[in-house]
Structure 1
Amino acid sequence: MRKIKYKKGRKVQTSFLEYTGVHKYTQTESQLFVYNDTDLAEFHEIEVSEMEKHVDLSKVNWLNVHGLNDPEFIKQVGEYLEVDNFMLSDILNTNKRTKLDEYHDTLFFNIKSLLPDADTNNISVEQISFILKNGFLVSFQEKRSDFFTHIRERIRTHSGIVRTKNADYLLFLLLDAVMENFYITIEHEEDHVEELINLSKHSADLKILEQIEKHRDNYNFLKRSIIPLRDSLFSIKSIKDDNIFNAIEPNNYTFFERLHQKSLELLDQIEYDLTTLDSASNFFFSTQSHKMNEIMKTLTVVSVFFMPLTFIVGVYGMNFKYMPELEWKYGYFIIMTVMFALLLIMIRYFKKRRWY
């Protein structure tokens, strides 16, 4: 049985808000959308103290925050929404796994956004968190990115049905946009895996095996990131069944069920790709073994060719006084002819049996 080791890490108290991610030099910025089917207002670099005069709870309000290096701003947003401190702590603590919390009239959702690193074979990770309460949606990103650019444009241009829906549908769109990054990452990994499989068919370089194991680690990391997302999306069904939490409209639960189905498809694809990687590593080892067998076969055949010749040389290398062949005039030429003929017979026999 594999022993599970406890890894001690720095504890973050919920009463003390501190950002634990890697983007520690990203400036905190905010953007507020207030819209419905007929009206749209957009505000940039808005302070929490100014939100009261711009927020309209009869419309959809979406506050998007880039950068989590200002815990005081995050705390002010939490106080404005009257959400519990542990949710704010989970927003700033990027070591948390994907989770969904339903607390009174508040829905908290955080998710890991994964994208391939352009310069290495690593996967870059960003935690994105959402708070949905009373038609007010807040999204928290560790850094500025273009995940939601197309959604902003759909809101601005009144494209699709987003302006006719409530904040829960907007949450679906944002989650769907983040999940698209999983597809991009998996496709990027599959391209590398296909290249490695082709290389393994023509090369025995051990670096290929190292790359295979690296991408296997990437797939396992993807899997560990998607499984809690799948569980969180499935738990939305329990929210639907309890008939208490009403932040999500009954007609919009089907959209979140689609996201759950997507997570299942992603996990199936990862399992398939892991099987492909197993096949690639097995093929690599089989090729190595086959080449070693061919080398051993060649060495064995060569040694067998020389075994009878060595025997004959050994016999006539003995220092007996009475060996009649040693006195023959043509003894040397006869023995060399016999040895050469024996070698030709063995070569012909081995070739006929296809031993080389």
Structure 2
Amino acid sequence: MKKHHMGKWIWYALEKIEEIDQLKAELDISIEDWRKIINEKKGNYLEMDTSIIGKESLSGSIIYNRKIEERGDYELFYFYLCGDYLITLDYHDNSLHLNKRTDIIQSAQNAISPVDGFMVILGNIMTDILYHIDTYEEKLDELIWDVKEKNSTKTLDKIYQSRHEILIWKNVMMPFLELKFAIEEAFGEDATDGRDYKRVSKRIQRGLTLVDEYEKELNNLVHFEEVVSQHRGNEIMKTLTVFTALCTPIMALGALWGMNFKYMPELDWKYGYAISLALIVLTTVIIYAYLKTRGWMGDLLKAKKKNSFFQ
């Protein structure tokens, strides 16, 4: 157990659940319910106790490091927050990969209260999440251009993979927003006047705003793909319909003259072959002209243009 004195408050950073027994003897707070949470909850959880004025507390657990590849690949830590103490269990700083890494202990030293100290931790986690979201933004920009330059089923699959990823990041950040409101509910407006609380609140809002905007972009891409797919599907059906209509005279007259009846008047025609070809061409031209005047031919006979969605 690490004990950090932060001026007017103390941060107990626990590494093992057994260390809670040491706290029970040292602190005048009831943490039995918190221990039950640790034993029972393996996901996001929040519990508030405001029954005694001046001894309000907020406890629970929060997922702070989640991988997008596997459902069960995540880390969470447990916290207990009250008037003079901040207690955490299994919290590890995962911001080692950041170029400008924040010293979490030094930053917490500047916090004026346990609430602000807890917000420093949340802010550090949010910084790491925003780092991953910036990386996601690069992939999204590449995906937007892939839709135009090399659109295919693989691109559509990438869109839905990205959609799933952004939903995961949103799912990770939503509990942070809930914690922000829960702190204000439990400790009142005085607890929200701290600099770190206000700063991290803005950071949480910034992260959620980014995710919402990226989600809108992905929804637009999905809608865009649906429009293009529907248009091309209609174009295929239209092409097949036109092709079938134009080939109808050939098939009909070919079937007629392919019959093997003994008595057929056309068999003795000197110019029967030429007449049949002329009749096939004439009826095909008549059908084509009719479809053209009706506007059903469209631009199906034009070649596709590079980097065009509909041409």
TM-score (norm 2): 0.71
- Determine the C-alpha separation between the residues in 2 that align with 1:240 and 1:32: 23
Q: Report what 2:88 is aligned to.
A: 139
Q: Does the aligned pair in 1 maintain the 2:56–2:187 contact within 8 Å?
A: no
RMSD: 3.9
1:128 aligns with 2:128: no
- Determine the C-alpha separation between the residues in 2 that align with 1:95 and 1:164: 29
Match of 2:57 among 107, 116, 134: 107
SS at 1:150 equivalent: coil
Match of 1:331 among 257, 261, 272: 272
- Determine the C-alpha separation between the residues in 2 that align with 1:74 and 1:337: 98
Match of 2:226 among 271, 274, 285: 285
Equivalenced residue count is 287
1:321 aligns with 2:269: no
Q: Report what 1:150 is aligned to.
A: 102
Q: Report what 2:240 is aligned to.
A: 299
Task: Report 1:60-139 matches (<5 A).
Answer: 60-66=9-15, 70-81=16-27, 82-99=29-46, 101-102=48-49, 104=52, 105=55, 107-109=57-59, 110-117=61-68, 120=69, 124-133=73-82, 135-139=84-88
Q: Report what 2:307 is aligned to.
A: none
Structure 1 counterpart of 2:245, which letter?
V
Q: Does the aligned pair in 2 maintain the 1:233–1:259 contact within 8 Å?
A: no
1:33 aligns with 2:13: no
Task: Report 1:1-356 matches (<5 A).
Answer: 30-34=1-5, 60-66=9-15, 70-81=16-27, 82-99=29-46, 101-102=48-49, 104=52, 105=55, 107-109=57-59, 110-117=61-68, 120=69, 124-133=73-82, 135-141=84-90, 143=92, 145-146=94-95, 150-152=102-104, 154=106, 162-163=109-110, 165-201=112-148, 202-205=150-153, 208-241=155-188, 248=191, 251-252=193-194, 255-317=196-258, 319=261, 321=263, 323=265, 325-343=266-284, 353=295, 354-355=297-298, 356=300
Which sits farther off after the overlay, 228-237 or 295-304?
228-237
Structure 1 gaps of 5+ residues are 1-29, 37-58, 156-160
Q: Does the aligned pair in 1 maintain the 2:120–2:200 contact within 8 Å?
A: no
Identity %: 20
TM-superposition CA deviations, 1:1-26 (whole Å, max 9, x none)? xxxxxxxxxxxxxxxxxxxxxxxxxx
SS at 2:103 equivalent: helix
SS at 2:102 equivalent: helix
| 1:171 to 1:135, Cα distance in 2 relative to 1, 3 A | same
TM-superposition CA deviations, 1:219-276 (whole Å, max 9, x none)? 4444444444323312333345488xxxx4x742x64345445444444443333333
Choose between structure 1 and 2: higher helix proportion.
Answer: 2
Residue 303 (structure 1) shift: 1.2
Structure 2 counterpart of 1:203, which letter?
N
TM-score (norm 1): 0.63
Residue 78 (structure 1) shift: 4.3
Residue 144 (structure 1) shift: 5.8
